[in-house]
Amino acid sequence: MGELFPTDSFFDKSLDDCYTELKSNRSWAETVTMNTRSSGNPDFTLEAFYGFLEKFFMKLQNEGETAKSPKDAMSHFARWLTFELKNKKDERRINKNRDADSTKPVADSPGDSSNPKGVNSDTEGLTGWIDSLSIGR
């Protein structure tokens, strides 16, 4: 079957054995990492791959899985990884938009309704307004 899919990869193994086999399959890890980087995740690294692989197997345990064939786990992991990375991108985009929306606009200076951004080009009027404030007096 080749290096990516050893002949015994089609039979169920305990999750621990399956995880160990996939974690030690450096060729597959590099292939997934390279393809993930090429498909819009240029910062994805082997270290990130192994972190996601560990999370994936924790997810399987949480779902009550006790055994899985390595080939099935590879396929399932690849689909799950794509979904997880898309969710992370969407989350970052939403948080970025939320942060941008949370900035408060500058209040208009009194008497200047012509410029809603709070910028007053009338320096004399602005100086007079500042001087009229009781702060520091």
Query: pLDDT (tens digit, 9 = 90+) per residue, 78-88?
Result: 999 999 999 99
Contact predicate 117/105, CB 8 Å: yes
Cα separation, 73 vs 52, whole angstroms: 13
Q: Which residues have a Cβ under 8 Å from the Cβ of 101 and sit 6 or more positions away?
A: none
Global pTM value: 0.64
The pLDDT assigned to 56 comes to: 98
Block means of pLDDT (10 residues each) for the chain, length 137 residues?
57 95 97 97 96 98 96 97 93 82 56 55 73 69
The pLDDT assigned to 133 comes to: 76
The pLDDT assigned to 113 comes to: 55
Q: Which residues have a Cβ under 8 Å from the Cβ of 65 and sit 6 or more positions away?
A: 15
Cα separation, 83 vs 37, whole angstroms: 14
Contact predicate 109/117, CB 8 Å: no
Helix locations, the chain, DSSP H: 15-24, 26-38, 46-62, 70-101, 123-132
The pLDDT assigned to 1 comes to: 47
